[in-house]
Structure 1
Amino acid sequence: MEDFTGMLTPSDSPPSFPFYPVTPPLSSVPSETDLTLKVSTDVTPDDVPVVAVVGVGYVGRHLVSSFSSKYQVIGFDVSERRIQDLRKEFKVHENVNFSRTQ
């Protein structure tokens, strides 16, 4: 007979938090695996910075909120539902955009 002492059961699980299950399949395209160094354009003092936040869950959402008080912000996430929720939440912030792709 097996001993299951100390094993968690579904009822032992922590409280559930919002879960955004719609995620794209794992894939790798050549642009993601190409390790060739690219030369970027020069940055000047007159350029307007843009902050990109990759992953807009609990922490990423706070980063978007904080940075958007001064900078243009783009929030990226794999979950379309999360992006839709954040677009509604930040709709009055003209300097915030959200995307799943680019």
Structure 2
Amino acid sequence: MNRIFIPFLLSLSLILCLNGCTKDDPIEKEKMAMTKYLEDHGYAESPTASGLYYIETKRGTGADADKGDLVKVRYKGTFTDGTVFDSGIYT
């Protein structure tokens, strides 16, 4: 029984390894999807150092904030399909 089982396990391991090695990198796949979304919607934004994309849809009319100032922020986080995952107004 071991003579049949061991080659089977080795073959199965090789198949699983090769299958896993050929899949697309999910991070690269997400970057490509985001780039396509931005291009399709006419946005020219670039990600921050952490990888966050944000789009300023309405600029405030008050004075620019200085370091240490208290500001009010209204935001809406959405997925590329438009589904809202978070929103709020914070001071």
TM-score scaled by length of structure 2: 0.28
**Which protein has the bigger helix share?**
2
